[in-house]
Amino acid sequence: MANAISDEMIEYVGILAKLELSEEEKEAAKKDMGRMLDYIDKLNELDTSGVEPMSHIFPVNNVFREDVVTNGDDRENILGNAPRQKDGAFQVPKTVE
């Protein structure tokens, strides 16, 4: 599959990556990309028919608890902690003039 990598493709990838590559760097990138594609071809030869697709190598479970309201509408107790209140809300000093 290494033959599928052309000079135009290397140039295009360089433009996308906003890189200015010298001719030596382009040739090195071409060889590297060829080796990567050859490795992918080798991996594609493996029989993965019995392997379940996964996004992580370890099982990942949601570690967050369910969002359950426990104190609900307890406005009177909450406002009991306020130094000042007005119309059922906390009253704070004016910060913008």
Instruction: Tell whether pTM > 0.75.
Output: no
For the chain, domains (ranges, CATH) are: 7-45 (1.10.20)
Contact of 1 with 37, CB cutoff 8 Å: yes
- Residues facing residue 86 across a β-bridge: 89
Q: What string of DSSP letters covers 7-25?
A: HHHHHHHHHHTT----HHH
Residues linked to residue 90 through DSSP beta bridges, in sequence order: 85
**pLDDT mean by block of 10 residues, the chain; 97 residues:** 77 92 92 92 88 82 82 81 88 87
